[in-house]
Structure 1
């Protein structure tokens, strides 16, 4: 088929007649009830003046400590075409009473005009990676007509901002939702109104704020409260809280789909074998079909994640073949599994960047992955796990077991909360328990860098870097890889 014939064969749809611009002044006024000072057409929406690109609509949000109106000059210097403001300014603008309410109104207008199938994702572990895999699958199958949260824009600002950025031409929207406290998921779900809502897993993240695993499960399950009529809930069959999640899901969902290794799972793992690239070759039973596909990301947790991806893509009416290709081609995300080859004395060393987030479940999963990684020596740089409250010392101390099972040769512990693990490692060394080698306890990333330099990274080493984002281990990753740091915003 010639290129011209292929071009003529490209399907033409009614949505192709929709405007190319994301927002016009008239559309913003219609959505927000504001007053426009000028006519404009915007190609994007942004609330951080530093991230504004040419053609963006800047929303001057007001927070407890910051007022976006102070950065209007910077936003327009970076190329903003207009701003949403709550006071008259000397720039093209739409004047509203409340800029946060205006962003919400813009988000809801975008949601209603697109008519896209929307997928909402939450969970204690794996949200961002699963979101990216689902997006890649749907974007591939829809020829670029899928939309998703960037970075980890999953909180009370990031979710409506992501909605406001969705084109009228979008066929699919994939939205990540996170929380730090009770009562935060339901409002996010009400913004998105997903057709499919997926929970990846339940783990003791933010247990300090919620008090129990049951409370965490209940808060995550609040995503189902926003489901559209006829919507589908997707839940992990292997979770101890599966029945609790199912009971809540059944209040709102027309259909509940489970995924996992359980014999009763609707999307069930049949087989998984290691592949040459460090990932897995997975065979899954989806009820009416069996599917064999590759998962590029290493680790048992990604096998489970892939089942959730397949369940969500199928529920959304997506292409399972495209989902398999997306999983086969995915690389690790910055701070969430990205792998870097370091040039060191004698050759190369592997650095696994898991510096963005950490809780007891994800720590165990990534340490297990480190133990399965071929290496001359295995080194773990572990930062404190935050928001565990009174459970913190216990959860930190319990990491002795996965460290031992992974046969880690050297451990660098960073942060005050890691003292509990340092004490346990000291005991283990005294009584010769397990296979953990030496360790150092540091107060901050700078000391951790010095400890690694003193230990010496050599050819064949595999280094895992993992901790809660606030510990700042991204600086350590940047030091050894030469990557520039970047900002992010999220809850989990």
Structure 2
């Protein structure tokens, strides 16, 4: 419960008709009888323009500088929101922050399951994280926060807000190069999560792939790492291994999910959670759609279309290579790779040709990504539906281009979730 009459960490005039809310939103369309509205500055408009709409929808209160009914009136709503979030975060017994070039959401999901923690939903913007901390910081349960960045200085801002007790870096690779500039820039900016704030120590952990970039920081995964799983086996049915003598089975999982499980069990052990109990919860983890979600059937579709970077695509191709049957890679454009994007696409495409039996590419770098190259998503989809047969395994992966129009997404070869839906519909119709 978010109570505007509690001891707020900022000066505010609280309207007498304001009342507690179940949660907060900065999107006025989500405001309602249980959802309060925070009027924040936007790229095009200020949230104050939507305060009346939120009140009409029944919002219990609005955080704003306007003098309106049910207002929690402050000088600066954004500064107040972040101050409130820091105060509520301080009430949490444990906060885990997760970043990396790939695998953040998977790691977050597994860590949350092992710790029986509250965790961030898909959106991981500063306002979203602030609302999450305010809503759940006092729940008494650990919190797991995904901390993605795409510009210099953003991680420092996130760390100042979240103040994680544990900082995790899953992987390092070329992603958001247009803003971060280079691999060295990515290493430096993501590494900020391993530093404390105001003298607070942070427990740092990095994935096996990222360990070379952060010498001296404890690592996790398989092989020569600080915290290692043992006897890893990956089949079409899933992944299994042992950790500290405890058997772990992850249905329909690959190595990436197994590494996330090792991270989760490491943190569970350190938090005093019984490992058999944590391992049992890991077996039931279901990551959000588009993140290596396996759809078995007369042919199998691996939906990994939520987003893409070179390191993430290579990991997905490694997983595809372990499947029986005819393996088909379906790859689209990876965004924000800067001036070397053609070379990076070519490198991924060359790797796909070693891991898959058939390679399809779509969009601006279709020929680099696959032997069967298509200019647009509809052309790709038609070709796939004509080619696929029983027993095939198809991996679908690309960036989202979520802010683009559907027409541009189809033309540029991003947002391949539409391809996944078409394949599943065709498979299930027969």
Asked whether the two chains share a fold, i.e. TM above 0.5, the reply is yes
Computing the radius of gyration from Cα coordinates, the structure with the larger value is: 1
CA distance in 2, matches of 1:462, 1:54: 46
Shift, 1:282, TM fit? 0.8
Structure 2 residue aligned with 1:280: 239
Calculate the TM-score normalised by the size of structure 1: 0.77
Q: Write the mapping of 1:371-390 to structure 2, written as runs, cut at 5 A.
A: 371-375=321-325, 377-390=326-339
CA distance in 2, matches of 1:73, 1:447: 46
Contact 2:115 2:264 in 1 (8 A): no
Task: Please list the CA deviations of residues 65-86 of structure 1 after superposition, one character each: whole Å capped at 9, or x if unmatched.
Answer: 1322333354345552221112
Structure 2 unpaired stretches of 5+: 402-413, 426-430
Shift, 1:131, TM fit? 0.5
Q: Write the mapping of 1:88-487 to structure 2, written as runs, cut at 5 A.
A: 88-89=67-68, 91-112=69-90, 114-139=91-116, 146-151=117-122, 153-226=123-196, 229-239=200-210, 241-244=212-215, 246=216, 256-263=217-224, 265-274=225-234, 278-284=237-243, 289-341=244-296, 348-375=298-325, 377-411=326-360, 413-421=361-369, 425=371, 439-443=372-376, 445-453=377-385, 455-470=386-401, 471-481=414-424
Contact 1:25 1:41 in 2 (8 A): yes
RMSD: 2.5
CA distance in 2, matches of 1:79, 1:278: 48
CA distance in 2, matches of 1:261, 1:229: 30
Task: Please list the CA deviations of residues 27-49 of structure 1 after superposition, one character each: whole Å capped at 9, or x if unmatched.
Answer: 2x723322112231111111123
Distance change >3 Å, CA 310–CA 299, structure 1 → 2: same
Calculate the TM-score normalised by the size of structure 2: 0.87
CA distance in 1, matches of 2:88, 2:351: 46
Contact 1:177 1:188 in 2 (8 A): yes
Task: Please list the CA deviations of residues 439-463 of structure 1 after superposition, one character each: whole Å capped at 9, or x if unmatched.
Answer: 13223x334333334x244333322
Shift, 1:25, TM fit? 2.3
Structure 1 residue aligned with 2:51: 72
Shift, 1:468, TM fit? 0.8
Structure 2 residue aligned with 1:16: none
Contact 1:121 1:200 in 2 (8 A): yes
CA distance in 2, matches of 1:242, 1:328: 31
Shift, 1:185, TM fit? 0.8
Distance change >3 Å, CA 93–CA 364, structure 1 → 2: same
Contact 2:92 2:143 in 1 (8 A): no
Distance change >3 Å, CA 66–CA 337, structure 1 → 2: farther
Q: 1:469 is paired with a residue of what secondary structure?
A: coil
CA distance in 1, matches of 2:293, 2:229: 26
Task: Please list the CA deviations of residues 227-277 of structure 1 after superposition, one character each: whole Å capped at 9, or x if unmatched.
Answer: 673431112345363444x3xxxxxxxxx53223343x32123211236x6
Q: 2:299 is paired with a residue of what secondary structure?
A: strand
Contact 2:99 2:170 in 1 (8 A): yes
CA distance in 1, matches of 2:343, 2:355: 20
Task: Please list the CA deviations of residues 205-242 of structure 1 after superposition, one character each: whole Å capped at 9, or x if unmatched.
Answer: 12333233222111111002246734311123453634
Structure 1 unpaired stretches of 5+: 1-21, 140-145, 247-255, 343-347, 426-438, 483-492
CA distance in 2, matches of 1:230, 1:330: 30
Are 2:4 and 1:25 equivalent residues in the alignment? yes
